[in-house]
Each structure stands twice: as structure tokens, then as C-alpha cells.
Amino acid sequence: MTGPALIRDADTPWEPYPAFEGSFSIKKTLSREKQGSALAMGVCELQPGQSTVWWSFIEGDENPDVAMEFGQAYEAYYVLEGGFTFHWVDAEDHAESGEAGPGDSFYFAPGWRYRVENSGGTVARFLWCMAPAAD
């Protein structure tokens, strides 16, 4: 078990999302790898018109659109700036979407796949938290 950690913004560089060169940028502030945490946290930045890959919290998801499958994980987003469209699909392929702006939150539980796109005309950022942490 690790103790408290103060993570400075200046010590956390923006980097391309792991394994998806050039897609979007993240700051991974809290992770299993860096702090030994079961909770992961960071900031994601998308340029206008840019979107994330499809992530899945469906155990054993074999959908060809899914870039990463996290199994039984939980994730929450808090929009810091800009506008986003959240797209989500359940295991039976029922699709929905929702718009979010600064101050709005979005939550994903096991059993869903989703992606997020910047639906505004400016750079957009959200804070994300995921448990258990995936490194």
C-alpha cells in the first residue's frame, strides 16, 4: 500500500494516448504504474472534431470496433472545458448518445462500450477516473 501523493501538473506531461499514436492526448496523473493505486485518474484533451477510440467494459468483448477492453471497470468523466458527445452501446448493440459541457459528468459501468468526441469548435478537456486502474 502506498501513502498520499501530491502530483504536480508540471510533472505530468501530455502524451499521445498509449498504443494509439496521434489520436488524442492524455495526462495520466494517478496510476497503478506510478503510485501503485487501484484508482487511475488523468485529463484527456481532444482537438475540434477529434474522438477517442471505442473502449469496452464488456468482459471478453470481441467487437471489431473496440480498441481496448477493460472488463469489469468503472469510469467517470468530469468536463473541464469545451463540448463533448458521449456515445455508448450495450452488449446487445443498443446505441445512445448525450451532449456534455463544462461542469457536466458522465459515468460508465461494466456492460457498456463507448467513445467520446469533441463536438465543439475549440479544444476540449475532461478529467477521468477509472477503477480498477488499467496500466
User: Which triple of cell numbers denotes residue 9?
Assistant: 501538473
Averaged over 14-40, what is the pLDDT? 82
pLDDT tens digits, 87-125: 999 989 999 999 999 999 999 999 999 999 999 999 999
Q: Which CATH superfamily is domain 15-131 in?
A: Jelly Rolls (2.60.120.10)
Higher pLDDT, 18 or 38: 38
Query: Residue 111, CB half-sphere, CA atoms under 13 Å: how many?
Result: 4
Q: In the prediction, which pLDDT does 18 show?
A: 64
| Residue listed under C-alpha cell 505530468 | 12
Q: In the prediction, which pLDDT does 22 show?
A: 58
Whole-prediction pTM: 0.90
**Phi and psi of 35, rounded to 5°?**
-115, 0
Report CA dihedral (12, 18, 20, 26) to the nearest 10 degrees.
-30
Among 133, 128, 132, which residue's Cα sits nearest to residue 114?
A: 128
**How is the chain split into domains, by residue range?**
15-131
Q: In the prediction, which pLDDT does 118 show?
A: 95
